[in-house]
Amino acid sequence: MTATTDGSTGALPPRAASASETDVSLPEAAGTDGIRDAAERAMRRATDFLLARQDAEGWWKGDLETNVTMDAEDLLLRQFLGISDEKTTRAAALFIRGEQREDGTWATFFGGPGELSATVEAYVALRLAGDAPDEPHMAKAAAWVRAQGGIAASRVFTRIWLALFGWWKWEDLPELPPELIYFPKWMPLNIYDFGCWARQTIVPLTIVSAKRPVRPAPFPLDELHIDPDDPNPARDLAPVVSWDGVFQRLDKALHRFRKVAPRRLRRAAMNTAARWIIERQENDGCWGGIQPPAVYSVIALHLIGYDLQHPVMREGLASLDRFAVWREDGARMIEACQSPVWDTCLATIALADAGLPADHPQLVKAADWMLTEQIVRPGDWSVRRPQLPSGGWAFEFHNDNYPDIDDTAEVVLALRRVGHPDPERLEKAIGRGVRWNLGMQSKNGAWGAFDVDNTSPFPNRLPFCDFGEVIDPPSADVTAHVVEMLAVEGLSHDPRTRRGIEWLLAEQEPDGSWFGRWGVNYVYGTGSVVPALTAAGLPAAHPAIRRAVAWLERVQNDDGGWGEDLRSYHNAREWSARGASTASQTAWALLALLAAGETESKAAQRGVEFLARTQNEDGSWDEPYFTGTGFPWDFSINYHLYRQVFPLTALGRYVHGEPFAGAKGSR
């Protein structure tokens, strides 16, 4: 049985995958010359398409699509603060309704299965927008929620939102004490043991958890409980000898501590947490450039007395409006985050690899903008690296507290491709970025995304943390991008680079692939690692490279492309590299094959032909599938520019050969 259009069966897809195709006059069974001609035409059209979408300031940014919990929580926030307005509510409801599936549920990625918490939050948002519970689409959703265990089976974050309105009891939620802010950095479960995204969310939620506010609910939600008279039946505790059992009992102890916690200590802890929050508000009013911490920070500060006209609050609320994408049909989608630095460096690499002159005005403008975005002050990362000078880049427009290692590596690779009129300025910025990335290497030789050695096993055990990753351990894809950047900078033989290479080789899966932490999944990991290893000097004949090539050849779809469903994070054995072919994932596979010297191979030729055949007339590609990752399986992303920048990069390297070598060998 194959998957349905919306993926609701969860059945394994066939290796072949359909795709919307545009005739590019590619002859049947075209030879190498025919494929190369088609690749050149596709490359030129993709170049024109991408150039036309650069902002006047020099950056690119595609929509960052996630799921309807962003939109539902935005409406819940407005309801909680008493600032709802009819236009916003109507537009958000239009978007949320449009995302509902035939079975009444909402998924967290295109083609994915219905997800309980997303369905609960979407349902409540539509109730706030005026949809009646007896309307067919609402009744179908409620019936499905009850069949899955009702609200009681939803994630903690969903039940926190419901507790804000009295739809759930605060005492039935895990405790999160504000005194956590006082834990020293050497102590387990201190805030710096959490990944930066979790840290920014947990600190404000300690205030919310301590205050336990309740705004009057505008309606009951009995229809979402299996038994409205017993909405939260008691659950058995895990054995005390297990970690789950230990942390469940710790949570019970914290509930008891709440009743006896000294009021002066608690008040001081909340004030300290509030100062921590305010100190990390960005210049644009947001927190960390991502929506969830901003939402919880606004609520927390409001609860301890900040009125909505206070500058901190006013700017925070204004920043949330900038996450809204208004569509032509009047619907309003909320982005969880915005990705201009990431999109701009990837677009610059793609255009340069496609043959755009290094001094092209639009590449220079992109470089100018990226140079202004370099972060030159310390952030939370300096808690673990206090002596390291700053010099990284973040993902977003404004996020000086949390530059990330992945963006920094890719920005350096992008800047190296630009013939900038002020080479001294360029060299200084690159030098700062390289130095910062080297200083952020973890003790195992690899790199995480935001922090050093953020590998504590305890945060993920907390009953509170039942949704997604809350730590930031090193990953193969980030490490690969750093290694590739260091190789381009002539540091292939530096001991730090060699340690990164050794870690990557040790992390290769038995089948020849690499796990992809920030992209879906084994195709992304492999597409990142192979170009890095070859850039660092590993020969194409190296056994690790040959295993990767053999794996990519085995998992290629019948249509010539590659695809991978997000369910590979949940069940790698069945879903690894299985899914409908996409432009971005096909490009990742091609980047690996081309780096391994497989330009003339049948697999590479078929992959290039797939990209040329499925390109739209305007030079774009269609890609409804989610190929980006926030949290593996739990939070998925459709980067709307991925379908453009990665295929263009792959086509450029196919047509022009080896990618830009930069300063390789110069040190």
Measure CA of the first residue to CA of the last residue in the chain; give whole Å. 56
List of residues 6+ apart from 309 with CB closer than 8 A? none
* Cβ atoms of 273 and 297 closer than 8 Å: no
List of residues 6+ apart from 325 with CB closer than 8 A? 63, 332, 333, 334, 335
Among residues 521, 498, 519, the alpha carbon closest in space to that of 511 is found at: 521
Among residues 166, 158, 170, 188, the alpha carbon closest in space to that of 255 is found at: 170
Among residues 210, 312, 318, the alpha carbon closest in space to that of 271 is found at: 210
What's the Cα-to-Cα distance from 31 to each of 10, 38, 593, rounded to whole Å?
Answer: 38, 11, 19
Cα–Cα distance, 164 to 170 (Å, whole number): 8
Pairing of strands 635-639, 628-631: antiparallel
Q: Give start and end residues of each alpha helix (H) in 304-339.
A: 311-321
Tell me whether residue 406 is one of the annotated catalytic residues. Answer: yes
Catalytic residue among 406, 451, 477, 559: 406
* Cβ atoms of 205 and 465 closer than 8 Å: no
Among residues 25, 383, 352, 326, the alpha carbon closest in space to that of 192 is found at: 383
Phi-psi sector, 528: left (phi>0), alpha (psi -120 to 50), beta: alpha
Pairing of strands 635-639, 324-326: unpaired
Cα–Cα distance, 56 to 235 (Å, whole number): 57
- Which pair of structure tokens corresponds to residue 550? 């053999």
Identity of the amino acid at 292: P
List of residues 6+ apart from 86 with CB closer than 8 A? none
SS (H, E, C) 165-184: CCCCCHHHCCCCCHHHHHCC
Strand boundaries in 60-173, DSSP class E: 64-65
Cα–Cα distance, 337 to 322 (Å, whole number): 10
Cα–Cα distance, 121 to 125 (Å, whole number): 6
- Which residues are known to be catalytic? 406
